[in-house]
A and B are shown apart, each in its own frame.
Chain A
Amino acid sequence: MVDIAYYAPLWGEALLTLLAVLIILFGSLMKGGKIWGYLSVAGLAAALALVMSSKTGTVFFFDTLSVDVISQFFKAVFLVVSLLVVIASLSRYTAKGSDEYYSLILLATVGMMVVASSVDLVTLFVGFELASLSTYALAAFDKSKRNLEAAMKYFIFGSVSSAMMLFGFSLLYGMAGSTRIADIANTALSSFGPATLVALLFVIAGFGFKMALVPFHMWAPDTYEGAPPLVSALLAAGSKKMGFAAAFRVIIVALLALRLEWYLAFAILAAITMTLGNLVACWQNNVRRILAYSSIAQAGYISIAFVVVGAASAMPNGQSIAQLGIAGGLLLILGHALMKTGAFIGTAQVASMVGSTGGNDPDDISNYAGLGRRAPITAFCMLIFMFALAGIPPTAGYIGKFVLFSSAIYSNLVWLAVLAILNSALSLYYYLRIVSYMYLKEPAGPRMPEPMGYAAALVLTLIAVLWIGIFPQGFIDWAMQAAAVLLPK
């Protein structure tokens, strides 16, 4: 007899899986119209409530799924992103086929949640693939030519990265004789000579693709630009963070013994990623490409957390420095997930209005001219997201950068902190460019309608971004507790 109450911490995943299957099943039998969207909203909200209220500290299914503070943190991020995307989709996906759209989003969310909880490499890989396969299909969902190109690129790069990751995992399994992260952490990996470095290289490359770190970033701008805009929101804000969730567990916990090796690798990756992302973003004219490069740059900032952990291990009070660094990374992940979701929903709203009246590229920055008067709610929310992404207080983006960059100073990585703030200032250029198109230029057309779904999602995101910025205490504590899970006691 299965004790259902024992599995209460995993009810969220179970609920979403069940819902996804039911939506597909009934979707093929009846015409639902809007009902699938509303069901998904309700399901995601319920799952979020379950995740937030669940008891932490239990490991399920033969030591493969751990429900701890960090897994719940990431699950909350994924659920919030999916929830916002689904709310925005309410006014976009109502026709035939919408049941597939919503069930794919739900399945992708379940995959991400599994990754967040995995403490075993095989489970982690399964979760990864569930999320990836669902998002491959989503990236081509509108079936336009650009969709197909985007999805194809995403699929090929995604498969290659999965293969690399799997190869790295197989080497680790060979060395440790186990796929459990705890067992790998206890193995004397360095006794295996060059094989450890090869394994590390493949694991970092595999994760690097998912996190879109330079030089593994090439797919991201094309995919984020070409996929349906709401799916881009899910990819940039949700699925990319899944890469970080996995990397935090595998690299910081399982491969802690190799920290001197990956410390250097991440220092270089972080520095190159943020600089290149920001520089290239300055030259783009397509707003979604700007956002894509900005999200590459943000991945560079978040990677600073790894560097801080590596650098801190050699310092006397390393534990508290590493904790602060990881917490900073988590806060920036949370902040970035919200800001990017909001920004992509904003582009979706603009594209849906401009696209319907004709015009060449619906995401071209010229379509944003005078948006402040054409679509005041969308423009105002975008304005706040742009400033938040640039790290202007008091927003979620500022709090994340504040904690993360301060931890870099704390661990004596002054060069990295200086580089990061110079990048922050550079990024202001392209964020302000979007702002100046929206507010300083004359409108490019008549006033646009702002459908309820988009507006509701944007305003909710806006409130969350400002809320975290003004009342950060609870979120900082949460991130600190989550960070403590990853560090040895």
Chain B
Amino acid sequence: MISNALSLMIAVPLLGAVIAFLTRSRAQARIVALIASLIPLLLSLQMYMEFDKSSKLMQFVESYAWVPTLGIKYTLGVDGIGFPLVLLSTIVSTLVIIYAWGEDKRPNQFFALLLLNEVGVLGVFVALDFFLFYIFWEIVLLPMYFLIGIWGGPRKDYSAIKFFIYTHVASLVMLLAIFALYFTYQMPDGSRTFDMLTLLQATADKAIFPTGLLNIIFAGLLFGFLVKMPAFPFHSWLPDAHVEAPTAGSVVLAALLLKMGGYGIFRVIVPMLPHVDKIFVTIIAVIAVLSILWGAFMALSQKDIKKLVAYSSVSHMGFVTLGAVAFTWLSIQGAMFQQFSHGIITCVLFMSAGTIQHSAGTRVISELGGLADRMPKFAFIIMAGFLASLGLPGMSGFVAEFMVLTGSFATLPVYTMIVVFLSIAITAAYHLWAVQKVMFGPILKKYINVHDPHAYELFSMSMIILLTLIFGLQPSLMTDIMGTAAYQLMEPVKTLAQMGVI
């Protein structure tokens, strides 16, 4: 086992980002980026082999004093909640760099930003100290702002600033809630701490955190995470950001950045849920159902295929919220699996939208038609991607949503039935309608010269389809870890000190 594997996993892309930024040519930049993203991928695969799937404790823990005066530590560690997302981040980051192999506008900065993004996202998933967590949480905003702002579409300035300010406000509200946690809880020796697990464990103690105070803190944290997810009605930054972002930016935005919100729900919100006012369960459940339905209906009404995919993200992330708040073993497990599954499926959807834009010059669904005739390989992949997204059995999306709905029915039957009756048909409808119009039917004359995309684009997309199939047919590769994590979430939080790891 490599010591300090998590720190190494963050440091390598950071170093890679600096080197890539300083390179002079595209060839150098992309090679650096590929190497700097492959190393974390290999590390995370190695960690997967070593990961103890039955343990409810933090693993690969590192902890060093950082600012002892304020009780800040550099603490990293992963458990069943964080590890699947670490794996997702390393996989997606590598594949998106391969997909963007042909980027020719300021390639050194482009690849450096993709690597910086990986740094931030990985940091969020492994940080166990609120101070550190918040730093990574904010660092992620920078590369995405530039990815949208420099390589974006016509309204890039507006979208980039809206994305940055909207999500920054949410982060700041979350930060105030973290301050309140920090100042309310005092360690037995009188000092204070930003340690996430210690603070979360303390929230169970009514003597320290009276319900009224905890409700306010909870609401602040929840707001921070729901905006990031994004959940209805805080999602309005997402379609703008997605439509204007370059393909690679959209991919990491949907596949990784949204997962940060979901991760926050599992890491912070779910352990606090039993101790806050019960009204929050209803509020979150309503938000979840509205996100699923609103996302699906909005997707149905879109003219731009990329915007359609963006709204489908809102809808699919709603399942994560629903599964988490339903608070049964199966639903939590399903919600975690939905995070992973949506993370990979959405990659292929956004990559497809990018490829269509690139080949046909437009993303407007009504202007496209019959592309399958000239792009047979691509047609196969996009078909597989859309079917995976709508929940075709045998692919990972089906398993995740099935688990969420089955698990949620036990505690939230009404909400679950609303979702089942209203959203499933619509989800199928917008996926099938879009892919049918774009790819099939007689080919339009103006598209007679289009051809299959580059091999590297096809490679990225087909790898993801392969992963979707693997995890669809053999979900236990991931769900074993998540099942343990779901059990762990339904018990009181165990701090690192109690685990005996520090």
Contact = CB atoms under 8 A, between A and B. Distances in A.
B150 interface: yes
Contacts of A473: 66-69
A393 B160 contact: no
A439 B150 contact: yes
Contact of B138 (A393, A417, A418, A421): A393
Contacts of A418: 176
Given A393-B138, A440-B149, A477-B69, A425 B176 contact: no
A410 B160 CA distance: 34
B141 A440 contact: no
B161 A410 contact: no
Interface string A430-445: 0011001001100000
Interface in B465-480: none
Contact of A410 (B146, B172, B183): B183
B447 interface: no
Contacts of A406: 179, 182-183
B168 interface: yes
A418 B219 CA distance: 14
Label chain B's interface by main secondary structure.
helix
B168 A409 contact: no
Label chain A's interface by main secondary structure.
helix
Interface string A68-99: 00000000000000000000000000000000
Contact of A421 (B66, B67, B164, B173): B173
A109 interface: no
Contact of A425 (B135, B142, B149, B165): B165
Given A394-B135, A472-B67, A429 B161 contact: yes
B70 A440 contact: no
Contacts of A477: 69
B156 interface: yes
Interface string A16-38: 00000000000000000000000
Contacts of B66: 473
B149 A476 contact: no
A410 B179 CA distance: 8
A436 B183 contact: no
A451 to B, nearest CB: 22
Interface string A389-419: 0001110000000110110011000100110
Contact of A432 (B135, B164, B173, B183): B164
A422 interface: yes
A441 to B, nearest CB: 9
A480 B69 contact: yes
Interface in B165-207: 165, 168-169, 172-173, 175-176, 179-180, 182-183
B157 interface: yes
A421 B135 CA distance: 16
B487 interface: no
B142 A409 contact: no
Nearest to A387: B142
A179 interface: no
A424 interface: yes
B106 to A, nearest CB: 9
A393 B135 contact: yes
A353 interface: no
Interface string B250-277: 0000000000000000000000000000
Contacts of B156: 440
A405 B179 contact: yes
A428 interface: yes
A428 B165 contact: yes
A402 B172 CA distance: 10
Interface residues of B, number: 32
B160 A436 contact: yes
B280 interface: no
Nearest to B157: A436
B219 to A, nearest CB: 13
Contacts of B168: 425, 428
Contact of B67 (A410, A422, A440, A476): A476
Given A409-B179, A432-B161, A436-B149, A421 B69 contact: no
B11 interface: no
Contact of A422 (B138, B145, B169): B169
Contacts of B131: 402
B183 A409 contact: yes
Contacts of B182: 406
B134 interface: yes
A392 B176 CA distance: 15
Interface string B61-72: 000001111100
B160 A440 contact: yes
B176 A393 contact: no
Nearest to A437: B157
Contacts of A402: 131
Contacts of B135: 393-394
A409 B160 contact: no
A402 B135 CA distance: 11
Interface in A41-84: none
A417 B182 CA distance: 15
Contacts of B138: 392-393
B68 A409 contact: no
A398 to B, nearest CB: 8
B412 interface: no
B15 interface: no
Nearest to B216: A414
A425 B172 contact: yes
Given A392-B142, A473-B67, A425 B179 contact: no
A387 B168 CA distance: 12
Contact of B165 (A394, A403, A414, A429): A429
Contacts of A394: 135, 139
Given A393-B139, A406-B182, A429-B165, A439 B149 contact: yes
B46 to A, nearest CB: 28
A433 B146 CA distance: 12
Contacts of B70: 403, 476
A429 B161 CA distance: 7
Contacts of B68: 473
B485 to A, nearest CB: 28
B161 A439 contact: no
User: Which of the listed residues B67, B138, B141 has the most CB atoms from chain A within 10 Å of its own CB?
Assistant: B67
A440 B151 CA distance: 9
A103 B67 CA distance: 40
A393 B134 contact: yes
A254 to B, nearest CB: 28
B95 to A, nearest CB: 27
B251 to A, nearest CB: 21
B29 to A, nearest CB: 16
Contacts of A436: 149, 157, 160-161
Contacts of A424: 172
A474 to B, nearest CB: 10
Interface in B66-106: 66-70
Interface in B113-172: 131, 134-135, 138-139, 141-142, 145-146, 149-150, 156-157, 160-161, 164-165, 168-169, 172
Nearest to B172: A421
A387 B143 CA distance: 13
Contacts of B172: 421-422, 424-425
B324 to A, nearest CB: 27
A417 B178 CA distance: 13
A93 to B, nearest CB: 33
Contacts of A393: 134-135, 138-139
Given A409-B183, A418-B176, 4 more contacts: A392-B141, A409-B179, A473-B66, A476-B67
29 contacts: A392-B141, A392-B142, A393-B134, A393-B135, A393-B139, A394-B135, A405-B179, A406-B182, A409-B176, A409-B179, A409-B183, A410-B183, A417-B176, A421-B172, A421-B175, A422-B169, A422-B172, A424-B172, A425-B165, A425-B168, A425-B169, A428-B165, A429-B161, A432-B145, A439-B149, A440-B160, A472-B67, A476-B70, A477-B69
The 3 closest A-B CB pairs, nearest first, are A421-B172, A409-B179, A393-B135
